[in-house]
Amino acid sequence: MLTASAKRIGQAAAPIVVFVFLMCGMMWPQVRHIGDSAVSHQDIYFNMWRLEWFAHALSTSPFDLFNGNIFYPEPRTLAFSDAMLVQGAIAAPLIWLGTAPVLVHNLMLLGAIVLSAVATFALVLYLTGSRGAGILAGTIFAFAPYRFEHIMHMELQWTMWIPLAFLALHRTIERPRIRHGLATGAAIALQMLSSIYYGIFLATLLPVCAVLLQLGHSRAHFRRVMVALAAGAILAGALIGPYARPYLLARDRVGERPDDQIRTYAARPADYLVVPRENWLYGRWETRGEGERRLFPGAVTCLLAVAALFLRRPSRLIIVYVFAAVAAFEASLGFRGYSYTFLHEHVSVFRGLRAPARLGIFVVFFLAVLAGFAYTFFAAALRVRSRVILLLALLSAVLLEDFTTLLLVPYPNTAPPVYRLLASQPRGVVAEFPMVRPGHNAKYAYLSIFHWKPLVNGYSGFSPPAFERRLQDLRRFPDPFSLRVLRRADVRYVLVHKSEYGDDREQYEQAVSTLDADAGVRKLGVFSDGEGDAVLYELR
């Protein structure tokens, strides 16, 4: 017979096994090519650069962690986007052990999806006492179309701290002890250190839910809860405060998000009916919706959430989660709603956010919890075998709605020959051409992990004004003015990629012939960059 401890271990491991199995089915192409491929997007390069830079800086110069080697000579370049400190800390040991960059990236991406499902399972199990409800809610949260819309954004897959924060909050309200309040604060801090967007949204929505959940309790209980949560807030502030400082300094250099960007990336109500084009079931129909605004939670999910509200007299918990879902939906509308407009005007951190539509993941989360409650209502009247059939039917319907085709491309795990040559050269600033498109610069940033020299090029959430001015100065590269600009920027190495010029091979040939004829430029050689010839020059 199994011991009690073995049974507990088995019960804890079972949902993990289930979600790993479901993840392998939903993400099979990426699982199959986990060591060398990912979706085709410039942010994949950026993800890998951030993970690799974190490990490199931590092992060489920890105090320079935020001084990434891109956008030379700008300081604190890691703060131009989400630094992903939690992901970096977890990935660093793998990188130090020599794990391939693409494999590290995919493990961090797919692992985040599984852990988000497991955390939601734990919350819903706590709220309902039903493991089936937990499995259903975890599946909804982990594989919603929103996930596939943002599959290239690693920080937006790290959502496991959201359900854990709500789990800690419920425990604090049920038993107002300091340790539960500290757990709530720690979850908020970890979410902020994993994804700034989600951390800010969580820190906004969670206190509202905390107040609503305490309605009807005595004043003494309310005070005990607030003391515990205040301890958690202090802990969160202590963890987030040092992290916020480089971002405040970076904001002075790059400014805040312009209002037109916020309007572009705010949701419209109709966006909650839009799926990614690659969605297997619905993507065949023409749907309107731009990037980051394909927010359909799934018809089955919505029906279950409505059932939770109307099948029986709703409990306080259900009403709070319905209110939270409505609040997240309204805030995702950006300036088209009231709450986000107010927050943007009165809370400075919201002026650094571009995409209110990312609140869509909170809408999915709250609907997933409500779907778990609905499952318990249906399952209560059924025998065990019928409950299993019901659960399998609902899971199948949810996964069928969510299934999305993943189109993958390979990414380099080792240094192409020209970067091996560059790595062998003395230290110096590098500029790579062409540098007009963001995709070019994202790729150059990633490939810099093979030499770690300072790089004029860069890619991030923000581009510093100095880089934008330099792009204008270099638009006629390699004319004499461009070379003077490069020398003033302390550039020592110039790398020209034939493949990146695309069909404009004449421009490439002209650039190479001009540099070859310049007495102030020394040609170090022509080598492959993995896709074609690349010429490496040294400015004398």
pLDDT score of 288? 62
pLDDT of residue 255: 81
Helix (H, G, I), strand (E, B) or coil at 538: strand
pTM for the full predicted model? 0.95
H/E segment holding residue 60: helix 42-60
Report how far residue 68's alpha carbon sits from residue 445's, in angstroms, rounded to the nearest whole number.
10
**Cα–Cα separations (whole angstroms), residue 200 to 24, 132, 324, 503:** 31, 31, 15, 44
pLDDT at position 314: 85
Element spanning 433, H or E: strand 429-433
Q: What is the pLDDT of residue 450?
A: 97
Residue 436 pLDDT? 82
Q: What is the pLDDT of residue 398?
A: 98
Give the count of beta carbons closer than 10 Å to the beta carbon of residue 149: 27
3-state DSSP of 121-167: HHHHHHHHCCHHHHHHHHHHHHHCHHHHHCCCCHHHHCCCHHHHHHH
Give the pair of three-digit tokens for residue 56: 């490199």
Q: What is the pLDDT of residue 286?
A: 57
Q: List, for the chain, all residue ranges whose pLDDT scores fall below the cut of 50.
A: none
Instruction: Tell me the domain boundaries of the chain.
Output: 15-36+100-402, 417-539
Provide the pLDDT for residue 289: 60
Q: What is the pLDDT of residue 345?
A: 95
Tell me how many degrees the CA angle 327-402-353 measures, rounded to the nearest 5: 40
